[in-house]
Amino acid sequence: MNSSNRDQPFDTVVRDARIATAADLFTADIGILDGAIVALGNGLADGRETIDARGRFVTPGGVDGHVHLDQPTSDGSKMADDFETGTRSAACGGTTTVIPFALQFKGHGVRAAVEDYHMRAADKAAIDYAFHLIVSDPSHAVVSEELPKLIAEGYTSIKVYMTYDDMKLDDRQIIDVLACARIHGAMTMIHAENSDCIGWLTERLLAAGLSAPKYHGASRPMLVEREATHRAIALSELAEVPILIVHVSGREAIEQIHWARGRGLPVFAETCPQYLFLSEEDLALDGFAGAKCICSPPPRDKANQQAVWTGLQNGMFTIVSSDHAPFNYDGPDGKMLHGPGSSFHQVPNGIPGIETRMPLLFSEGVLGGRIDINRFVQLTSTNAAKLYGLYPRKGTIAIGSDADLVIWDTGVARTIRNADLHHAADYTPYEGHEVRAWPSVTMSRGVTVWSEGAFRGRAGHGRFLRCERPGVVTSQFKIGPATF
Ligand code: URP
Ligand code: ZN
Ligand code: ZN
């Protein structure tokens, strides 16, 4: 810490902040210059602007490592948020970095997806962003030429799917991607659900006339996630490379991750607010309303919710991301793409949650006494920055880090209403939930983007971030060929 820079001119000083990082909690002033944190200490000189944070928690801005913005779909549906509305919403909920997905279409290159995505983001993003690569067609050219170059250029995380017809890979293809990730030093995120089991169950449910939204859950029971999670772990063990299992929804999948860690395998895990705050009861809402909560894996029962909370407490989970995948409820290109009352298997999968992720977890997690503030910072910010090669530029409050900060207001209860949110989706699945924490101020590289209940940022402020090869991959193994 540096308290000797009393004469240094600061653009902004955040005074008397109760600074929480992944490890520490201390009170200090934060001196900001040219978008970076340049001093931490007591009694810093005033900046051109001084923000009084006395008595309030100040955390690193959130790093949401799993969001879908303006992502093209194959069924005619359209995501409600583009980079402008999605990143605006993120900023208003305390997130200052997002990592959406550049999706490769089968038969096309990955670079084409990256180029397309840059066009979608440029001049629109209000906060900083990087890209994960979704690989849906790992041809020889992709794994031997395209991906290695893209990884070297700063796209150091790859998502693969074990389900969804337009994106799923078979086991052999997943191993090819994992081997590439191992050799070149990338993090692989795996969507773990058994596609054939889902297809078989869906056929039987539809044949029995069971097509309401709640049968989405019955078509993707815990078993199909548990089996695929175990298989993903086995494939990563074979390829000798760390993986992240994304959007883990309940106990049986957590047990597989626990088992893998017991074998010393570097298996990381992500969960999302929908598995902490929503349940199968929300999918069973009257009429078609359950479609608002259709996402995959589906929200499960209360016992599984509790198992996910326990996983946050005991270290099983590495990150909490939103998996923001926003579709309107009303209208022809969202949840009602095939009409109100369409079958569960025709409803676009995904729910909005980019703005509510941090307040929900702060409120129920920290203020609810389930996790401490340091764990909150790990789960919402630091660990994602580390997993995806953005640390310590992002994910912490330290000298030299970007001045991405959240000053928290924890004094007032507020009820989540879609009308108060800043995404473009026409609903929130958390309508009516009460939270006791919300950002009072969000800063992105020293610029206030949210304060006094209003968005103060601008489209185009956000910058593209090249990611380093993640330390958790390169430190586990010397990158290069495996030992087989
Ligand atoms: O239902 C979900 N999770 N939709 C988003 C796509 C994905 O698999 O993450
Ligand atoms: Zn997924
Ligand atoms: Zn997702």
- Residue 6 pLDDT greater than 50, yes or no: no
Q: What are the distances in angstroms from CA 435 to CA 221, 303, 449? A: 30, 22, 21
- Residue 80 pLDDT greater than 50, yes or no: yes
Most distant pair of Cα atoms in the chain: their distance: 75
pLDDT of residue 474: 84
Q: Which of 278, 277, 260 is nearest to 269 (CA)?
A: 260
Segment 338-345 shows an average pLDDT of: 96
Q: Which of 270, 298, 271, 296 is nearest to 282 (CA)?
A: 298
Q: Does residue 326 have a cis bond before it (omega within 30 degrees)?
A: no
pLDDT of residue 472: 87
Closest ligand (CA of 246): 2
Is the CB–ligand 1 distance for residue 356 below 6 Å?
A: no
Is the CB–ligand 1 distance for residue 304 below 6 Å?
A: no
Segment 353-376 shows an average pLDDT of: 98
Q: Which of 64, 69, 349 to mutate to test the pocket of ligand 1 (most atoms within 8 A of CB)?
A: 349
Distance from residue 334's CA to the centre of ligand 2 (Å): 18
Q: How far apart are CA 335 and CA 395, in angstroms?
A: 34
Segment 53-80 shows an average pLDDT of: 97
pLDDT tens profile 411-432: 899 999 999 999 999 999 999 9
3 pLDDT band, cuts 50/70/90, is very low
Q: How far apart are CA 25 and CA 408, in angstroms?
A: 14
Residue 432 backbone class (left: φ over 0; alpha: ψ -120 to 50; beta: rest): left
**Residue recorded with tokens 């009602």:** 336
Q: Which of 168, 133, 162, 416 is nearest to 273 (CA)?
A: 416
- Residue 480 pLDDT greater than 70, yes or no: no
Q: How far apart are CA 36 and CA 105, in angstroms?
A: 38
- Residue 57 pLDDT greater than 50, yes or no: yes
Q: Are 461 and 449 in contact (CB under 8 A)?
A: yes
pLDDT of residue 2: 41
How many other CB atoms are found less than 10 A from the CB of residue 19? Answer: 23
Segment 101-115 shows an average pLDDT of: 97
Closest ligand (CA of 67): 3
pLDDT tens profile 265-288: 999 999 999 999 999 999 999 899
pTM exceeds cut of 0.85: yes
7 pLDDT band, cuts 50/70/90, is low
Q: What are the distances in angstroms from CA 18 to CA 21, 28, 57, 371? A: 10, 7, 5, 17
- Residue 217 pLDDT greater than 90, yes or no: yes
List the shell of residues around ion ligand 2, using CB closer than 5 Å: 191
141 pLDDT band, cuts 50/70/90, is very high
pLDDT tens profile 152-192: 999 999 999 999 999 999 999 999 999 999 999 999 999 99
| For the chain, domain boundaries | 65-378
**Residue recorded with tokens 């997905």:** 101
pLDDT of residue 411: 87
Residue 114 carries which side chain, given as an amino acid letter? V
Which residues in 120-158 are b (16+ Cβ under 10 Å) and which e? Answer: bbeebbbbbbbbbbbbbbbbeebbeebbbebbeeebbbb
Is the CB–ligand 1 distance for residue 296 below 6 Å?
A: yes
393 pLDDT band, cuts 50/70/90, is very high
Mean of pLDDT over the chain: 96
Q: What are the distances in angstroms from CA 387 to CA 83, 232, 283, 292, 392? A: 23, 18, 32, 30, 11
Domain 65-378 has CATH 3.20.20.140: yes
- Residue 8 pLDDT greater than 80, yes or no: no
